[in-house]
Amino acid sequence: MKSSDSAVKLAEMINKAIEDHVITTAAYEEILHLAHEDGVIDPEERALLSQLQEMIADKTVRGVAE
């Protein structure tokens, strides 16, 4: 099954946050907007968002204000 365009973009943004160990408020909001843009959060997007939430919760990725 081919990934949706939004899932690919989400993966890119989340991977950047993982590499940097930081996510800005603006980037987080953009990720949420992108996930909800088409009105459907598919299973791949849900998994990516869950992964990001877990990493923020355990401080692997630190949220920062811009």
Please check whether residue 44 is in contact with residue 38, taking contact to mean a CB–CB distance below 8 angstroms. Answer: no
- In this structure, what token pair is assigned to residue 32? 């949420």
Confidence of residue 5 (pLDDT cuts 50, 70, 90): confident
What total number of domains does the chain contain? Answer: 1
Rounded distance, CA 47 to CA 54, Å?
11
- For residues 56 and 63, is the Cβ–Cβ distance under 8 A? yes
Query: What pLDDT shows up at residue 1?
Result: 55
What residue numbers bound the domain in which 20 lies?
A: 5-64
What's the pLDDT score for residue 24? 93
Write down the pLDDT at residue 2.
65
The pTM of the whole model exceeds 0.85: no
Model confidence pLDDT, tens digit, residues 7-62: 888 899 989 998 999 999 999 999 999 888 888 888 988 998 999 999 999 999 99
